Structures are given as structure tokens and as C-alpha cells.
């Protein structure tokens, strides 16, 4: 339908130059109106709204549709039922509009985001959107954890006996005073089931964490699939060099004069680059073997260096961790020694320092290498940073899950505190990084060494830092259910800090082309190493590790998951609910069940893959058909023109016949090729 609507005539519309007659216009409008009348109310509103014609004409179309609708309706007697239906649908429509308006008001940072988009463009805006998205995750987790775990615990046993007084250092280390609070796993106990009304803390703890992780997983997969489909599948295709992408990337929302000038310069540079990229590709293909060998050797060297650095930092961290254990015995929180408590901060500081310095070395290494396209360059930079961060987190988790449970008395709280310290120190380093990295760099760039210039806002590094912080928050969710509080505060402050730092110190980044695609990559990174890693860590803890004997809701059980077994056993005793037990026992605990599910999923995937292949084939065929039809069209037009010229030439010789003869050869059908 849309195609024809765009033919709807108005001066300047496509095909407007064909000068449709009044009758044709009327015909078109009539067809359009009769098509619209048959649509359901909501779809009709949408369709009218989406007509690419002026407001006045839309109103005209709507008026005609309405009058036609009414004349139809009058034939059928109006009943009470239709009236009632209309009233309710009107009510729901108004209600929906009201909810939508309220939601728009509730959205935080609307103006701030608009301003950032106006000054720095969509790609920088995507960083802040990502931050906001993470904030929503954390607020949700904070709410459910607080409601279902923390409040029952506080209500049922409010009197926590503190063995140590509050000294202030706890804010950094999370140990001491905080150790017995609901902030950490150790602050919860299982015996509040006896209280009235009964509340099973074990189940609440288990299901709240599980529900949150499932929610995160589903929404991550969903948004990843959507943006992957939008930004990658549609983009890939034959003969796509990306020039149009650049032309369409003009940001109409940018209002700042300087930013627009910048944008223009960048666009010119990038357009020239796309031209030279083709030449470069040719040059790279024809480069002599010795140069290629040199490049390969450089790549190899760079990768060895980067992997070596990552492995080295991991080894250092592991050594420090085990060493620290010998150095300060009994960090499990019951010590009064201030020095011992402060020394627990060494490890997080070292980790954050590595996170700060090693990426700088990586970017230096990156400058050495020679890549044909800047995009490969960016992706390789990201890959190395992710490798570093993931291996650091991996070694920390390995230590927490392999050594800690057998050496520390209340090990879940210990892990929770470690994560808390990492989160907090990372936050402090982020603050310092903005100050020294961006502010001082700006001053050096403008005052001391003008050749350096104002720093660019590095989106990739900043987003990777956010992903790292979120991974920590996910890892800590089981060991410290209220950790999202810290994460929410952290994200909130980072938003304002980055906003100020951005407007004071930075200039918009130069390469902005693939903002949407990069966003997909970030969401994918957040899903794959980050979320999946944290999920498997928590799952391993719940399914196979023995919870500590002295503290926590799961004390006395073999594994935390045993709590569910016990619950199912009690459910079985309730008459009429044996089916739940049967499902648990015979379906959920059965390997065959999961095997079957996997099999079905695999078959479905294969089937869908085949469908995609078929569609690709279809697209190729259709493309060829379009090209052929275009050729036919030009052929016919040329033919028509030459015939017209001939007849005009003939007319020029006999001017008296001119008025009587048509320009058009009446036998034109015979001049067409036979296939037609």
C-alpha cells in the first residue's frame, strides 16, 4: 500500500512531474480511502499518520474515511453493544496515551541526553544511552533484592550484634562493621522460617537471584537479537561500500555550530577514505611478499606482547592474592587491626592500575601495526582489552572458587567484600581517570603542547570500562545482594561526571561512521564474556560448592540448591500437588529432558538456517530480475525517442501535414522486439 501512497500527488512529490490528471488523482484518493476504511481502527490511525503527504491532505483523507465509515455504519442499526465497545476502546486509547505521556515524563536525563546529542552526535550519545540502560538493570535488581531478601531479613531479625564499631574505613573495604549487615551474604540467616508469618529465606534468596539473572539474560538476548538483525544482517549485501551509510549518517539533531563544522570535516575525511580504501585494498593485494611478511611478523609480535602482558598481569594478581593471604591472616572481617584491613585494598588498587595502564600500552602497540582499514584496527583494540579484563576477572574468580571456600570461615562474605572493594576502587579510578586522563590532557593539549590538541572522547575504552564494572556487579550479586546500590550510585555519578568532563575537555570523536554497529558489538560483549561468565560462576557456586557452616541462609546444606530439593519434598506432602513433585523429579532432574530440548533447538536452528539460505537465493534472483527490467525500460524509452525523432523529422519536411499527423507511430507495436 505504501508504494502507491507515495504516488499521492502534490507538487514536488516523486512522479509529480508526470502531471497526473485530476481524474487520476481522484481515482487514487478514492482507492486509498476505500482501502483505509477496511482497516481496523488502530491500524487505520497508524496508516493515515504514516501517509507521506501534507497535514492538510491527511486531514482530508481522514475526513473522507470517517464519512464513508459513518455512512456504512448507518446502514447497520447502532446497538448498545457497539456503542459500549466504542466507549471502552476510546477509554483504553486515552488511558494508553496517558500512560505513554507519563512514561515520557519519567524518563530521566532527557534534556541532558538531548544536549549531548546536539553537541557531540549520536555516537557519543550511544555511550550515555548504554550507561542509562545499565542503570535500569541495576535499579531493577536493587528493587527486587531489597524487597524480597533484605526487607524480610531486617523485619524478622533487626538486632544485629556488632562486634566492631564503625570507623569509616569500612566504606572502602566493606569489612568490619559491614560484615554482619544485610549488605553481604553472611548477614542473612535461615532460621527466620520459624517467625510469623513464615518466610523461607533460602528459597527467597535462591529464586530472587535466579529471577534477576534470568531477566538479565532474556533482555540481553532480546536486545542483542534485535540490534543484530537491524545493524548487521540488513547491512551486509553485495556491492556495499558504505558511501551511502556515510551520507545518511548526517545528524540532524546536532545544533552546535562548531560541532557541525567538525562533523562536516570528519565526513569529508571519511568520504575521501572510502575512496582511498578501495585503492589501498588493491595496493595491499599487490604488495610485495617481503612487506606482507614484515606485517605478519609485526602482528605476531604485537599479539605475543599483548597476550604476554595479560598473562603476566594475571600471574601477578594470583601471586599477590595468595601471598597476601599469608601476610595478613584472618581477613575474614573479625580482626580489629586497621592496618590489616587497609592492606586488603592493595589487591583492588593493583587490579585497577593494571586496568588503567595496560590498555595504554596496548594502544601504543596498536600504533605500531599496519592495518588496511581503520575498522579492523578498532576491533583488534577492543579484542585485546576484553582479553585483558576477562583474564583478570577469570583469575580472581578461580581463586575465589577454588581456594577461598576451603580456607576462609565465612567465604561467601569474603568474596562479597572482595567484589565490593573491586567495584569501589574501580569507581575511584574512574573518577581519577576522568580528571587526569581528560582534564590534564586537555590542559597539556591546549597550553603546553598545542600539537596534541584537545583529547577525543574515547567511546570504546569508556564502554569497556562500563562492561567491566557491570561484570563485577553480576559476579557479586549472589555474594552481596545489595551490591546494586553501589552500582546505581556509581553509574549515576559517572553519568554526570562524564557529561561535565565531555563538555569541558573533549572534542567529538573523528570516526563516527558505525555507531549503531558498534553498539551491537558492545551489547554482544556484555552478553558473551561478561554475563555468561558471571552466570556460570553463580551457577557453579549454587550447584556444586558447599556453603559455609557459620553464616548465611544456606548453612548446613550440602549445596545451596539442596534448599529447592527440600522445598519440593515438602510440596509433595501437600495433597493435590504431587504433579509438581513429579515434574521436578522426572522432568527437570532428568538428563534425557535436557537432551531432547537441545536436540529440538538444534533442529530448529538448522531449519531456520535453511530458510535464510533460501531467502538469500531468492534475493539474488529478484535482483537480477530488477536489473533486467531496468534494461528493458531503457531499451523501450530509447526506441520511443528514436521513433519520435523520426516522425518529427518527417513532419519537418511537410509542415502543412503537421497538425494532422500524430507524433506517435501508430504501428509502434511492430517495432518492438519479438520477445515482448
Residue 189 DSSP one-character state: B
Length of the chain: 676
Return the SS3 of 42: helix
Min dist. Cβ of residue 373 to another protein (A): 16
Quick note: the x/- pattern for another protein over 109-128, rule CB under 8 A, is -----x------xx------
CB 475 within 8 A of CB 537: yes
Q: How far is the CB of 177 from another protein (least distance, A)?
A: 47
Inter-residue contact 468 to 529 (CB < 8 Å): no
Which stretch in 243-251, 288-296, 378-386, 418-426 sits in contact with another protein by CB under 8 A?
243-251
Taking the C-alpha atoms of residue 650 and residue 663, their distance in angstroms, rounded to an integer, is: 10
Q: Which residues inside 491-520 make contact with another protein, applying CB under 8 A?
A: 513-517
DSSP 8-state code for residue 513: T
Name residues contacting another protein, limited to 590-649 (CB under 8 A). Answer: 623, 626-627, 629-631, 633-634
Tell me how crowded residue 327 is: count the other CB atoms within 10 A of its CB: 12
Instruction: Report the C-alpha dihedral over residues 295, 300, 306, 311, rounded to 10 degrees.
Output: 180
**Which residue, 93 or 648, is less far from another protein as judged by CB?**
93
Nearer to another protein, 131 or 390 (CB): 131
| From candidates 249, 313, 470, 505, binder to another protein by CB under 8 A | 249
User: What are the phi and psi torsion angles at 96 (to 5°)?
Assistant: -60, -45
Task: State the number of binding residues for another protein (CB under 8 A).
Answer: 75
CA 190 – CA 479 distance, rounded (Å): 15
Closest distance of CB 505 from another protein, Å: 23
The three three-digit cell numbers of residue 331, written as one number: 581477613
Cα–Cα distance, 148 to 128 (Å, whole number): 30
Between CA 90 and CA 597 the distance in angstroms is: 44
For another protein, the binding residue among 50, 287, 452, 596 (CB under 8 A) is 50
Cell 572502602 sits on residue: 172
Q: Is 432 in the site for another protein (CB under 8 A)?
A: no
H-run or E-run covering 510:
none
CB of residue 130 vs another protein: minimum separation in angstroms? 13
Which of 480, 587, 585, 487 is CA-nearest to residue 538? Answer: 480
Q: Which region, judged by CB under 8 A, interacts with another protein, from 139-147, 228-236, 355-363, 368-376? A: 228-236
Q: How far is the CB of 124 from another protein (least distance, A)?
A: 12
The CA distance from 493 to 497, in Å, is 6
Asked if 549 is part of the footprint of another protein (rule: CB under 8 A), the reply reads no
The single residue among 77, 81, 100, 285 that binds another protein, judged by CB under 8 A, is 100
Residue 243 in contact with another protein, rule: CB under 8 A = yes
Binding flag, residue 668, another protein (CB under 8 A): no
With CB under 8 A as the contact rule, which of the stretches 167-175, 266-274, 354-362, 418-426 interacts with another protein?
266-274
- Residue 90 or 195 with smaller CB distance to another protein: 90
By CB under 8 A, name the one of 214, 226, 247, 611 that touches another protein: 247
Is residue 13 within 8 Å of residue 6, measured between CB atoms? yes
Q: How many CB atoms lie within 10 A of CB 536?
A: 11
Report, in Å, the least distance between residue 535 CB and another protein: 29
Q: Considering beta carbons, is residue 114 or 648 the nearer one to another protein? A: 114
**Please, what is the Cα angle at 444 between 442 and 449, to 5 degrees?**
120
Whole-number minimum distance, CB 269 to another protein, in Å?
8
- Phi, psi of 549, rounded to the nearest 5 degrees: -80, -30
Does 255 contact another protein by CB under 8 A?
yes
What single-letter DSSP state applies at residue 586? I
CA distance 63 to 56: 11
Nearest residue (CB) to another protein, 31 versus 629: 629
Stretch that binds another protein, among 47-55, 143-151, 558-566, 570-578 (CB under 8 A): 47-55
Dist. CA 55–CA 63, nearest whole Å? 12
Query: x/- binding map, residues 274-313, to another protein, per CB under 8 A?
Result: xx--------------------------------------
Least spacing, CB of residue 48 vs another protein, in Å? 7
Residue 456 DSSP code = B
Closer to another protein by CB, 239 or 592: give it: 239
Q: Which is nearer to another protein, 58 or 562 (CB)?
A: 58
Of 5-44, binders to another protein (CB under 8 A) are 6, 11-17
Q: What SS3 class is residue 12?
A: coil
Candidates 27, 82, 86, 265: give the one binding another protein (CB under 8 A). Answer: 265
Q: CB-wise, 251 or 341, nearer to another protein?
A: 251
Q: Is the Cβ of residue 230 or residue 323 nearer to another protein in the bound state?
A: 230
Question: What is the rounded distance in angstroms from the CA atom of residue 58 to the CA atom of residue 62?
Answer: 6
Site for another protein in 78-97 (CB under 8 A): 97
Of 257 and 591, the one with the shorter C-beta distance to another protein is: 257
Question: Does position 248 bind another protein by CB under 8 A?
Answer: yes
Residues 83 and 251: their CA atoms lie apart, in Å, by: 47
The one among 86, 261, 322, 617 contacting another protein by CB under 8 A: 261
Q: Which helix (H) or strand (E) holds 437?
A: none
Q: Which stretch binds another protein (CB under 8 A): 1-9, 76-84, 152-160, 585-593?
A: 1-9
Please select the residue that binds another protein; options are 87, 89, 253, 550, rule is CB under 8 A. 253
CA–CA gap between residue 86 and residue 153 (Å, rounded): 50
Does residue 101 interact with another protein by CB under 8 A? yes
Question: Which listed range, 3-11, 193-201, 460-468, 653-661, lies at the site for another protein (CB under 8 A)?
Answer: 3-11
Residue closest to 474 by CA, chosen among 389, 413, 536, 521: 536
Q: Which three cell numbers stand for residue 5?
A: 501512497
* Residue 326: burial class (beta carbons within 10 Å; 0-12, 13-18, 19+): exposed
Q: Smaller CB distance to another protein: residue 52 or 78?
A: 52
Q: Is 527 exposed, middle or buried (0-12, 13-18, 19+ CB in 10 A)?
A: middle
Q: Which of residues 329-358 bind another protein (CB under 8 A)?
A: none
Piece of 262-270, 307-315, 537-545, 563-571 that binds another protein (CB under 8 A): 262-270
Instruction: Quote the CA–CA distance of 168 and 190 in Å, as a whole number.
Output: 30
For another protein, the binding residue among 30, 85, 162, 230 (CB under 8 A) is 230
* Cβ(190)–Cβ(553) below 8 Å: yes
Quote the least distance from Cβ 325 to another protein, whole Å.
Answer: 50
Beta bridge partners of 189: 552
How would you write 334-375 as a 3-class SS string? CCCCHHHHHHCCHHHHHHHHHHHHHHHHHHHHHHHCCCCCHH
What does the alpha-carbon distance between residue 400 and residue 472 come to, in Å, rounded to a whole number? 13
Contact with another protein (CB under 8 A): which of 264, 323, 510, 616? 264
**Span of 261-269, 375-383, 436-444, 550-558 interacting with another protein by CB under 8 A:** 261-269
Amino acid at each position: 500500500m505504501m508504494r502507491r501512497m507515495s504516488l499521492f500527488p502534490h507538487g514536488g512529490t516523486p512522479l509529480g512531474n508526470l502531471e497526473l490528471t485530476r481524474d487520476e488523482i481522484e481515482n487514487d484518493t478514492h482507492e486509498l480511502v476505500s482501502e483505509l476504511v477496511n482497516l481496523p481502527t488502530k491500524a487505520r490511525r497508524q496508516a493515515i499518520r504514516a501517509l507521506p503527504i501534507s497535514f492538510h491532505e491527511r486531514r482530508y483523507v481522514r475526513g473522507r474515511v470517517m464519512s464513508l465509515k459513518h455512512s456504512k455504519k448507518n446502514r447497520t442499526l447502532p446497538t448498545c453493544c457497539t456503542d459500549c465497545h466504542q466507549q471502552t476502546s476510546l477509554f483504553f486509547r486515552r488511558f494508553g496515551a496517558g500512560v505513554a505521556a507519563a512514561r515520557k515524563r519519567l524518563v530521566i536525563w532527557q534534556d541532558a541526553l538531548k544536549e549531548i546529542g546536539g553537541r557531540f552526535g549520536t555516537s557519543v550519545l550511544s555511550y550515555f544511552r548504554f550507561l542509562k540502560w545499565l542503570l535500569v538493570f541495576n535499579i531493577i535488581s536493587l528493587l527486587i533484592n531489597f524487597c524480597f531478601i533484605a526487607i524480610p531479613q531486617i523485619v524478622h531479625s533487626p538486632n544485629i550484634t556488632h562486634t566492631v564499631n564503625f570507623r569509616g574505613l569500612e566504606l572502602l573495604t566493606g569489612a568490619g562493621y559491614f560484615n554482619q549487615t544485610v549488605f553481604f551474604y553472611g548477614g542473612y540467616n535461615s532460621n527466620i522460617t520459624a517467625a510469623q508469618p513464615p518466610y523461607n529465606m533460602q528459597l527467597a534468596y535462591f529464586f530472587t537471584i535466579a529471577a534477576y539473572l534470568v531477566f538479565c539474560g532474556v533482555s540481553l538476548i532480546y536486545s542483542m537479537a534485535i540490534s543484530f538483525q537491524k545493524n548487521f544482517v540488513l547491512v551486509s549485501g553485495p556491492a556495499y561500500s558504505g558511501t551511502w551509510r556515510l551520507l545518511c549518517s548526517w545528524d540532524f539533531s546536532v545544533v552546535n555550530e562548531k560541532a557541525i563544522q567538525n562533523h562536516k570535516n570528519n565526513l569529508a575525511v571519511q568520504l575521501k577514505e572510502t575512496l582511498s580504501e578501495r585503492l589501498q585494498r588493491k595496493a595491499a593485494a599487490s604488495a610485495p611478499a617481503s612487506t606482507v611478511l614484515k606485517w605478519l611478523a609485526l602482528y605476531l609480535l604485537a599479539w605475543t606482547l599483548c597476550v604476554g602482558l595479560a598473562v603476566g598481569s594475571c600471574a601477578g594478581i594470583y601471586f599477590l592474592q595468595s601471598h597476601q593471604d599469608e601476610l595478613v591472616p584472618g581477613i575474614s572481617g573479625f580482626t580489629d587491626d586497621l592496618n590489616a584491613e587497609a592492606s586488603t585494598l592493595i589487591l583492588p588498587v593493583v587490579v585497577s592500575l593494571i586496568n588503567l595502564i595496560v590498555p595504554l600500552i596496548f594502544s601504543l602497540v596498536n600504533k605500531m601495526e599496519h592495518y588496511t582499514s581503520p575498522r579492523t584496527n578498532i576491533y583488534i583494540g577492543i579484542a585485546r582489552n576484553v582479553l585483558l579484563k576477562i583474564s583478570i576477572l577469570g583469575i580472581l574468580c578461580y581463586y575465589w572458587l577454588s581456594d577461598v571456600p576451603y580456607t576462609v570461615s565465612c567465604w561467601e562474605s569474603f568474596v562479597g567484600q572482595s567484589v565490593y572493594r573491586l567495584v569501589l576502587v574501580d569507581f575511584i579510578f574512574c573518577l581519577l581517570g576522568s580528571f587526569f586522563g581528560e582534564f590534564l590532557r586537555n590542559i597539556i593539549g591546549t597550553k603546553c603542547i598545542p600539537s596534541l590538541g584537545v583529547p577525543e572522547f574515547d567511546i570504546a575504552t569508556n564502554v569497556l570500562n562500563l562492561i567491566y564494572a557491570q561484570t563485577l556487579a553480576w559476579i557479586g550479586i549472589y555474594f552481596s545482594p545489595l551490591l546494586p546500590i553501589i552500582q546505581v550510585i556509581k553509574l549515576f555519578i559517572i553519568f554526570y561526571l562524564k557529561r561535565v568532563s565531555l563538555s569541558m575537555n573533549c572534542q567529538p570523536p573523528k570516526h563516527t561512521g558505525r555507531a549503531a554497529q558498534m553498539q551491537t558489538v558492545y551489547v554482544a560483549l556484555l552478553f558473551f564474556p561478561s554475563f555468561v561468565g558471571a552466570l556460570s560462576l553463580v551457577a557453579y557456586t549454587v550447584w556444586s560448592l558447599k556453603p559455609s557452616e557459620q553464616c548465611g541462609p544456606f548453612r548446613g546444606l550440602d549445596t545451596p540448591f539442596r534448599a529447592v530439593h527440600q522445598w519440593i519434598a515438602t510440596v509433595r506432602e501437600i495433597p493435590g500437588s504431587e504433579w509438581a513433585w513429579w515434574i521436578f523429579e522426572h522432568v527437570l532432574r532428568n538428563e534425557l529432558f535436557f537432551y531432547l530440548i537441545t536436540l529440538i533447538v538444534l533442529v530448529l536452528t538448522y531449519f531456520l538456517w535453511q530458510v535464510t539460505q533460501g531467502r538469500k537465493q531468492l534475493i539474488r534472483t529478484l535482483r537480477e530480475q530488477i536489473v533486467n527490467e531496468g534494461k528493458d525500460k531503457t531499451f523501450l524509452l530509447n526506441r520511443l525517442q528514436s521513433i519520435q525523432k523520426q516522425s518529427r523529422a518527417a513532419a519537418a519536411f511537410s509542415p502543412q501535414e503537421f497538425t494532422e499527423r500524430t507524433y506517435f507511430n501508430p504501428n509502434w507495436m511492430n517495432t518492438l522486439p519479438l520477445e515482448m
